[in-house]
């Protein structure tokens, strides 16, 4: 898909380094910009990075987040009601990207379309961002984004699902840079008692279809689940559980404490699956 | 994608040239597409494949035609309305296509029966749908009862309160109505919730989308299930007056009734096509659903089209006295017809629509849906230009799609005209569309 364009992948390099140096998968933590406030979200991301997240996934709040369950919807509603703007995401990336963890932005497509695909890529790259995760953009519709991410040296993380056909796994793997996001189950974001058994299968199939790296998200919320997923994936993506620590907290500082604790537990969970690099 | 075996001689315009009426998805010019999670792509492909397979299967067409004849009540009549026409323009003849007389009270049943038959072919057992004021929900619940399918209808909590009677109607038909308590708690959020359900249950479930929006193949397929409106009207009019109309008028929410009647005339360049959007309280008020006047291209619910959105691309709330036109986006084929200049889209305000509503009641003894009253008000608007339509001295002929009946709107209308003291039932920021 990328033809002769050779672009370094911030996220790919981080995943490879973790595997080589520590023999483990990455912990990827999601938080939405503007929740509880723009400054508060930056502080929360810093907390999460300090507590052991390897890669940051910054969500852009959107009025119609069809891939998100109730926890992330609530956080996005609060962010929008508080006046969060798309440009706040760019400035948040600028603030948190120096902290040592690559920063991916997770965004629904209309926000990028409205900003201008190339302009968004340019500004995200200038802010130090690593790339985009696009839950409602499939590579088939992503020609502009593929060109812009090549031009500005950004990662592009597309999703695969248990329903993806082998042909689509192959085309999605070929179009992605950094990693492929494997949805562990058919559904939306949210905490689940177990990580779907189809996740491990999907990771294997996605690798077989040509993906260099595959990370797993949707439904991962507890350290033992993180350990389990880290046993077969290149990264473990946690969102709703982290957001909920802030939603449920009695105060901002209690929320950050609870966020730091859960992050550290998840990081320990991921580390406990460490194995010697292949 | 296959061609259109049901229409001899039609070609796929995407390969260049060809009739406008035969245009296939996923793209209509710059619009349409599939802006949805990957998890849904397999299901959308399955619908696309099964739909095109069904088109080549005579048994499918025969069964749908039988249902329309014996259950829907098709063909729907064409009624000339001379007393109403006097208010449209000197010497103008106006004909109404009477989709209001269909079973369940609107054109919605055309699409619902078509998709439900398809669902039986795909072997799925569960239908989900969104609804605002309840019309599409009632139609879907009806088809589910008829075809023995489980049915879940998502409806904003606000709307379930305002439309308690339609909730009861759906429940009488055996459907489960799920109040949606997130976001703005109205139609847009009901669609979001239906999409979330679909992602999680796509193996057993079909999302019976109610209009010509959404990801491919919905805009193309829903249009095709409504093409019968225009095909019948064209034949009826040729029968009645021996020629085509000079103009066709329809209201445009998502745009399914308009696509249904426009399609038969798209390749007749002398037939003017007018789509009337809800102008609400006026474009300048900001409280409207006029996507072509107040919107810009963007993506919502799986398709790229004109969209009411803010500077950042966040969806803006829409407004209309008519719940069925109250939606921030519009079908992608309409966006294309707008941009290529084939159809003319204009706003009609709440006041204009309600005046036309009362006028049809009093001149013709027909109580229209408030949605359809927008087409009637639009007819009055363009009637002023009608004298310029013909150079041969014949009377200008205007065909209006009367997409639904007004039973559901009686309380709203009664309150609007001060006949009762209650607050209007559907006077809200958001309501039904799909």
Question: pLDDT tens track of chain B, all 434 residues?
Answer: 333 334 333 334 444 568 999 999 999 999 999 999 999 999 999 999 999 999 999 999 999 999 999 999 999 999 999 999 999 999 999 999 999 999 999 999 999 999 999 999 999 999 999 998 788 999 999 999 999 999 999 998 877 887 788 899 999 999 999 999 887 787 888 999 999 999 999 999 999 999 999 999 999 999 999 999 999 999 999 999 999 999 999 999 999 999 999 999 999 999 999 999 999 999 999 999 999 999 999 999 999 999 999 999 999 999 888 888 988 999 999 999 999 999 999 999 999 999 999 999 999 999 999 999 999 999 999 999 999 999 999 999 999 999 999 998 998 899 999 998 755 554 444 443 34
Statement to judge: residues B202 and B59 lie in one domain = yes
Within an 8 Å CB–CB cutoff, is residue A166 touching chain B? no
Residues from chain B that touch A183, judged by Cβ atoms under 8 A, are 37-39
Annotation marks residue B150 as catalytic: no
Statement to judge: residues B265 and B411 lie in one domain = yes
Inspect the interface and report whether the beta carbons of B309 and A114 lie closer than 8 Å: yes
Inspect the interface and report whether the beta carbons of B202 and A186 lie closer than 8 Å: yes
Count of A–B CB contacts within 8 Å?
115
Within an 8 Å CB–CB cutoff, is residue A184 touching chain B? no
State percent of chain A over pLDDT 90: 90
pLDDT at B103: 97
Q: Is the pLDDT of residue A1 over 60?
A: no
Annotation marks residue B130 as catalytic: yes
Digit-coded pLDDT (tens) for A118-146:
999 999 999 999 999 999 999 999 999 99
pLDDT at B32: 98
DSSP letters, B238-292, are: HHHHSS--SEEEEE-SS-HHHHHHHGGGTT-TTSEEEEEEEEET-GGGT-S--HH
Statement to judge: residues B83 and B134 lie in one domain = no
Statement to judge: residues B257 and B193 lie in one domain = no
Inspect the interface and report whether the beta carbons of A65 and B300 lie closer than 8 Å: no
A13-271: CATH topology? TIM Barrel (3.20.20)
Helices (H), B173-243: 187-201, 218-241
Looking at every residue in chain A, the average pLDDT score rounds to: 95
Statement to judge: residues B336 and B284 lie in one domain = yes
Using the Cα atoms of residue B84, residue B87, residue B92 and residue B96 in order, give the sign of their dihedral: negative
pLDDT at B135: 85
Q: What is the chain B residue with the closest CA to A218?
A: B200
Within an 8 Å CB–CB cutoff, is residue A211 touching chain B? no
Inspect the interface and report whether the beta carbons of A136 and B195 lie closer than 8 Å: no
Shortest distance between the Cα of A264 and any Cα of chain B, in A, equals 30
How many structural domains is chain B composed of?
2
Annotation marks residue A123 as catalytic: no
Check which CATH number belongs to the domain holding B58 and give it.
3.40.50.1100
Spatial separation of the C-alpha atoms in residues B306 and B298, rounded to whole Å: 6
Boundaries of domain holding B214: 30-70+108-218
Q: What is the chain A residue with the closest CA to B39?
A: A161
pLDDT band at A157 (very low <50, low <70, confident <90, very high): very high
Statement to judge: residues B390 and B262 lie in one domain = yes
Shortest distance between the Cα of B34 and any Cα of chain A, in A, equals 7
Residues from chain A that touch B295, judged by Cβ atoms under 8 A, are none
Residue B325 to residues A51, A222, B83, Cα–Cα distance (Å): 50, 45, 27
Statement to judge: residues B178 and B284 lie in one domain = no
From A68, A150, A155, A234, the catalytic residue: A68
Q: Is the pLDDT of residue A278 over 80?
A: no
Instruction: Judge whether A120 and A80 are in contact, CB under 8 Å.
Output: no
From B97, B99, B106, B130, the catalytic residue: B130
């Amino acid at each position: 898909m990328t033809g002769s364009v050779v672009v370094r992948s911030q996220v790919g390099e981080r995943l490879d380094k973790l595997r080589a140096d520590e023999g483990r998968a990455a912990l990827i933590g999601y938080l939405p910009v503007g929740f509880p406030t723009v400054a508060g979200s930056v502080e929360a991301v810093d907390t999460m990075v300090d507590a052991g997240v390897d890669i940051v996934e910054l969500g852009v709040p959107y009025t119609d987040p069809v891939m998100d369950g109730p926890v992330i919807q609530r956080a996005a509603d609060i962010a929008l009601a508080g006046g969060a703007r798309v440009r706040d995401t760019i400035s948040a990336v600028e603030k948190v990207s120096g902290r040592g963890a690559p920063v991916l932005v997770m965004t629904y497509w209309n926000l990028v379309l409205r900003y201008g695909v190339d302009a968004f890529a340019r500004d995200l790259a200038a802010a130090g961002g690593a790339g985009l995760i696009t839950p409602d953009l499939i590579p088939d519709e992503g020609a502009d984004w593929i060109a812009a991410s090549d031009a500005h040296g950004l990662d592009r993380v597309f999703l695969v699902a248990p329903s993806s056909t082998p042909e689509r796994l192959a085309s999605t793997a070929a179009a992605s840079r950094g990693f492929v996001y494997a949805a562990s189950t058919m559904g939306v974001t949210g905490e689940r008692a177990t990580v779907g058994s189809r996740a491990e299968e999907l990771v294997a199939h996605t690798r077989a279809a040509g993906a260099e790296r595959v990370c797993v998200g949707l439904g991962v919320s507890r350290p033992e689940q993180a350990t389990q997923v880290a046993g077969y994936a290149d990264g473990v993506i946690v969102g709703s559980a982290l957001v909920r620590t802030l939603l449920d907290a009695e105060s901002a500082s209690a929320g950050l404490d609870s966020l730091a604790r859960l992050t550290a537990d998840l990081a320990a969970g991921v580390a406990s699956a460490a194995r010697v690099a292949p | 994608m296959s061609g259109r075996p049901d229409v001899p001689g039609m070609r796929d315009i995407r390969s260049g040239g060809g009739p406008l009426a035969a245009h296939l998805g996923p793209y209509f010019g710059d619009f349409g597409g599939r802006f949805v999670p990957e998890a849904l792509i397999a299901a959308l492909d399955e619908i696309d494949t099964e739909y095109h397979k069904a088109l080549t299967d005579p048994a499918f067409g025969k069964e749908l035609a039988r249902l329309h004849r014996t259950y829907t009540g098709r063909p729907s009549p064409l009624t000339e309305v001379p007393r109403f026409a006097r208010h449209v323009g000197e010497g103008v003849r106006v004909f109404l296509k009477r989709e209001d007389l269909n079973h369940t009270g609107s054109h919605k049943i055309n699409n619902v029966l078509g998709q439900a038959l398809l669902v039986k072919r795909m072997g799925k057992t569960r239908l989900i749908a969104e609804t605002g004021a309840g019309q599409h929900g009632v139609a879907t619940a009806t088809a589910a009862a008829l075809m023995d399918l489980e049915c879940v209808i998502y409806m904003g909590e606000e709307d379930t309160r305002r439309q308690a009677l339609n909730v009861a109607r759906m429940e009488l038909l055996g459907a489960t109505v799920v109040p949606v308590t997130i976001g703005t708690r109205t139609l847009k959020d009901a669609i979001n919730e239906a999409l979330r359900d679909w992602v999680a249950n796509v193996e057993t479930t079909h999302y019976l989308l109610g209009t010509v929006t959404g990801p491919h193949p919905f805009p193309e397929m829903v249009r095709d299930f409504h093409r019968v409106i225009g095909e019948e009207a064209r034949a009826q009019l040729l029968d009645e007056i021996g020629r085509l109309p000079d103009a066709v008028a329809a209201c445009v929410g998502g745009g399914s009734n308009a696509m249904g009647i426009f399609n038969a005339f798209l390749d007749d360049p002398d037939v003017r096509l007018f789509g009337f959007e809800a102008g609400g309280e006026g474009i300048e008020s900001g409280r409207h659903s006029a996507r072509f006047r107040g919107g810009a291209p963007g993506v919502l619910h799986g398709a790229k089209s004109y969209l009411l959105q803010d500077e950042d691309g966040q969806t803006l709330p829409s407004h209309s006295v008519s719940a069925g036109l109250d939606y921030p986006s519009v079908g992608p084929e309409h966006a294309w017809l707008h941009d290529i200049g084939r159809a003319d889209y204009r706003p009609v305000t709440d006041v204009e629509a309600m005046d036309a509503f009362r006028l049809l009641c009093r001149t013709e003894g027909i109580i229209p849906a408030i949605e359809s009253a927008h087409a009637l008000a639009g007819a009055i608007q363009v009637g002023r230009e009608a004298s310029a339509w013909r150079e041969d001295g014949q009377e200008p002929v205007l065909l209006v799609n009367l997409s639904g009946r007004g039973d559901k709107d009686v309380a709203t209308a009664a309150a609007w005209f001060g006949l009762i003291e209650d607050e209007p039932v559907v006077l809200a920021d958001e309501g039904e569309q799909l």
